[in-house]
């Protein structure tokens, strides 16, 4: 049930400028620059409400991933959850131990405020110090505690806000909160011994009051981070209810500085793959993505997938028959993890660069 929950109600959602679709208003509210209010909780009563603050803390010798989540799902109301891990690395750079984190909280067991970022979920806290503009995270894991301070480095597409229909209550919000910033402080205590860590961090925030299957037939996302480079793209195929063309965004940063931001994605299918075992879904396994910069004419990125190896999985596979049948009335999702070799071709301010890399992107078909 956890994977079903994550899929149907917790996938990150983004919408971008559409034409001829009155029922979706894109980037009509807010500032194109990230404001602190953009990452404050919206605390909606909507049945489709999901909100997350997700941190990837790429430090050594301990790496931390931690996600704070609020949701309304099924018969639960304003349920809180903290999930992630603390991963320990050896002197050779390889991971030697991973400690999972997974805690759920009823509405009476966590606190948050609409006018600040100050979350307390049991023994886990997330705050934003608006004087220093730093995030502070604390929590427990199997062997001890962690205490991390991270500088912010904001970005969002457009205003980051999308309104569905004629009600401002039907909203989606998205922002990247930090990327390629040296962590100010990270202390992990294991069995009473303190370890100081060095490295960088990535974090994002997204919130929606609508379930993902109400909007899309297909969603895909990819993010690649190295010591210098951050590449992120996402695209979405709306369902017939919205009668809109596919859309997405691409964001490229070098050493913590954005060099390209595009909300106008032009995708060309280079190769398809037929999943004969799962609803005969035909997916775009290999693609070319062209993304012109939103603010500087002539700047653009081309993301070319040279190879692709899709691996499908069924998020309903472990559900009891009754739950599977009920869930299938809304969507028939199959998740694809697609390993790719790719080239990123950049044309920025009259200069050209070609970056070859590899990774794995996620694609989910709903129906």
Model pLDDT for residues 295-319, shown as the tens digit of each residue: 999 999 999 999 999 999 998 888 7
Q: What is the pLDDT of residue 227?
A: 86
Low-confidence residues of the chain: pLDDT under 70: 1-22, 24, 26, 73-76, 166, 243-244
206 and 39 Cβ atoms separated by less than 8 Å? no
Domain parsing of the chain, residue ranges: 1-213, 215-367
Q: What is the pLDDT of residue 13?
A: 34
What residues have CB less than 8 Å from 97, skipping those under 6 apart? 87, 88
Please state whether beta strands 351-365 and 247-254 pair in parallel, antiparallel, or not at all (unpaired). Answer: unpaired
Q: What is the pLDDT of residue 76?
A: 63
| Residue 65 to residue 53: CA distance in whole angstroms | 11
| Residue 17 to residue 259: CA distance in whole angstroms | 21
Q: What is the pLDDT of residue 14?
A: 34
Single pTM value for the model: 0.87
Q: Which CATH architecture has domain 215-367?
A: Beta Barrel (2.40)
Q: What is the pLDDT of residue 303?
A: 97
- SS in 3 state form for the chain? CHHHHHHHHHCCCCCCCCCCCCCEEECCCCCCCCCHHHHCCCCCCCCCCEEEEEEEEEEECEEEEEEEEEECCCCCCCEEEEEEEEEEECCCCCEEEEEEEEEEECHHHEECCCCCCEEEECCEEEEEECCCCEEEEEEEECCEEEEEEEECCCECCCCCEEEECCCCCCEEEEEEEEEEEECCEEEEEECCEEEECEEEEEEEEEEECCCHHHCEEEEEEEEEECCCEEEEEEEEEECCCCCCCCEEEEEEEECCEEEEEECCCEEEEEEEEEECCCCCEEEEEEEEEEEECCCCCCCEEEEEEEEEEEEEECCCCCCCHHHHHHHHCCCCCEEEEEEEEEEEEEEECCEEEEEEEEEEEEEEECC
The CA distances from residue 63 to 99, 120, 183, 188, 339, in Å, are 11, 22, 12, 9, 23
| Residue 50 to residue 78: CA distance in whole angstroms | 9
Token pair for 356:
């070859």
Tens-place pLDDT, residues 223-258? 999 889 999 998 888 777 776 677 788 999 999 899
83 and 65 Cβ atoms separated by less than 8 Å? no
The neighbouring-strand residues paired with 202 are 56, 179
The neighbouring-strand residues paired with 161 are 173
Superfamily of domain 1-213: AttH-like domain (2.40.370.10)
């Amino acid at each position: 049930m956890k994977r079903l929950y994550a899929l149907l109600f917790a996938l990150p959602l983004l919408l971008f400028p559409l034409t001829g679709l009155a029922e979706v208003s894109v980037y009509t509210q807010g500032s194109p620059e990230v404001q602190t209010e953009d990452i404050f909780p919206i605390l909606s009563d909507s049945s489709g409400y999901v909100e997350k603050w997700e941190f990837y803390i790429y430090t050594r010798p301990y790496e931390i991933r931690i996600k704070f989540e609020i949701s309304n799902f099924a018969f639960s109301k304003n349920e809180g959850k903290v999930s992630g891990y603390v991963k320990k690395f050896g002197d050779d750079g390889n991971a030697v131990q991973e400690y999972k984190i997974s805690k759920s909280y009823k509405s009476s067991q966590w606190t948050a405020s609409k006018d600040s970022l100050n979350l307390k979920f049991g023994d886990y806290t997330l705050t934003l110090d608006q004087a220093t503009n730093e995030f502070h995270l604390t929590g427990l894991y199997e062997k001890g505690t962690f205490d991390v301070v991270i500088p912010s480095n904001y970005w969002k597409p457009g205003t980051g806000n999308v309104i569905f229909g004629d009600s401002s209550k039907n909203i989606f919000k998205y922002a990247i909160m930090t990327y390629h910033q040296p962590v100010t402080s990270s202390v992990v205590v294991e069995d009473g011994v303190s370890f100081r860590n060095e490295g960088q961090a990535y974090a994002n925030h997204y919130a929606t009051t609508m379930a993902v299957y109400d909007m899309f037939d297909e969603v895909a996302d990819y993010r690649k981070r190295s010591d210098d480079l951050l590449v992120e793209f996402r695209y979405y195929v709306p369902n017939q209810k919205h009668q809109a063309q596919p859309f997405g965004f691409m964001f490229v940063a070098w050493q913590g500085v954005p060099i390209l931001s595009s909300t106008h994605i032009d995708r060309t299918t280079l190769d398809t793959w037929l999943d004969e075992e799962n609803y005969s879904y035909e997916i775009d396994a290999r693609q070319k993505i062209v993304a012109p910069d939103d603010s500087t004419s002539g700047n653009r990125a081309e993301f070319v997938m040279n190879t692709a190896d899709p691996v499908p999985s069924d998020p309903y596979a472990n559900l009891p028959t009754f739950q599977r049948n009920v869930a299938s009335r809304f969507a028939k999702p199959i998740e694809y993890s697609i390993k790719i070799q790719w080239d990123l071709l950049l044309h920025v301010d009259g200069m050209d660069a070609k970056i070859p890399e590899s990774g794995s992107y996620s694609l989910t078909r709903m129906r």
